[in-house]
Structure 1
Amino acid sequence: MNWQEVCEHPQLQNLPFKVELNRWGQVVMSPVKVKHSFFQGRIQRVLETFLKTGEVMPECAIATTDGVKVADVVWCSSDRFAQIEAEVAASIAPEICIEVTSAGNTEEEMLGKRQLYLAAGALEVWVCDDQARVTFYDRSGALTRSGLVPDFPHQIQR
């Protein structure tokens, strides 16, 4: 399958799962719990308080070398948003891609997603763990804080 077919497939609509594609066009689904959604929403709201330009979006489909991945929250500059707005899956990753880990995620999987988003053009990738701790990364590795949003907290308030 390709991403357009996934988006249009009637049996894949309104699922309580995050749907992605791997490099072979196979659908990969991950269940989402309430806590995951809560962190995702909180991150989006906090990010919007720091960034007054561009677009903060949940569930952004991004074309990677390993198929289409869906970042939980992204921030995209106005210029980059203009490039991807009409696309089914972003051909270039938004500048900030954020993943909220789920119980089933491994460190290897999160490392892989970080690398895929960075290779697709993200400038930073943030990971929020199940304890609401946020870690920031760029191409050089872990950062002490975000270079794009230096005041973003390391801990999401519950």
Structure 2
Amino acid sequence: MRWEEVCENKNLQNLPFKIELNKWGQIVMSPVKIKHSFYQGRIQRLLESLLSTGEVMPECAINTSDGVKVADVVWCSEERFAQIEDEISASIAPEICIEVKSSGNSLEEIEFKQKLYLEAKAIEVWLCNEQGEMKFYNEQGELEQSLLVPDFPKQIKR
């Protein structure tokens, strides 16, 4: 299945799951809990308050070497947004791709997505665990803090 078909399929609309495709075009669905949505929303609002340029977006579909993955939150520069805004799924990853771990995700799965986003030209990948702790990564590995948004907190508070 192609991403365009997923987006247009009426049977896949309004499902309470995050939908992605693997490299074979198979649908992968992940249910999310309230805490996942809370962290996703809080991260989006924090990014919007700390950055004055670019676009912050939830649920961004990104082409990767393992099919289309959907980052929970992304930040995209104005230049990169102009490149992808009319695409069905991003041909190049936004500069910051953020995943919020939920109980349905294994750590290996999240780390795999991290590598996929970096391969797709993300500059940083951030991971938020189920306690709201943030970790920041780039091509060189784990960072002490984000280099692109150095004031972003290491802990998302309720």
Normalization by structure 2: what TM-score? 0.99
Cα deviation digits, residues 53-107 of structure 1 (max 9, x gap): 0000000000000000000000000000000000000000000000000102111
Aligned to 1:81: 81
Sequence identity percentage: 69
- Partners of 2:79 and 2:85 lie apart in 1 by 10
Instruction: Give the RMSD, CA atoms, in angstroms.
Output: 0.4
Aligned to 2:105: 105
Deviates more, 1:102-111 or 1:65-74: 102-111
Structure 1 segments of 4 or more deviating over 6 A? none
Corresponding position: 1:92 with 2:99 = no
Normalization by structure 1: what TM-score? 0.99
Structure 2: stretches of 5+ with no match in the other structure = none
Cα deviation digits, residues 13-67 of structure 1 (max 9, x gap): 0100000000000000000111100100000000111111000000000000000
Q: Which amino acid aligns with 1:45?
A: R
Aligned to 1:19: 19
- Partners of 1:111 and 1:139 lie apart in 2 by 13
Structure 1: stretches of 5+ with no match in the other structure = none
Aligned to 1:132: 132
Corresponding position: 1:39 with 2:6 = no
Q: Which amino acid aligns with 2:136?
A: F
The CA deviation at 1:125 is 0.2
- Partners of 2:2 and 2:8 lie apart in 1 by 10
Q: Which amino acid aligns with 2:82?
A: A
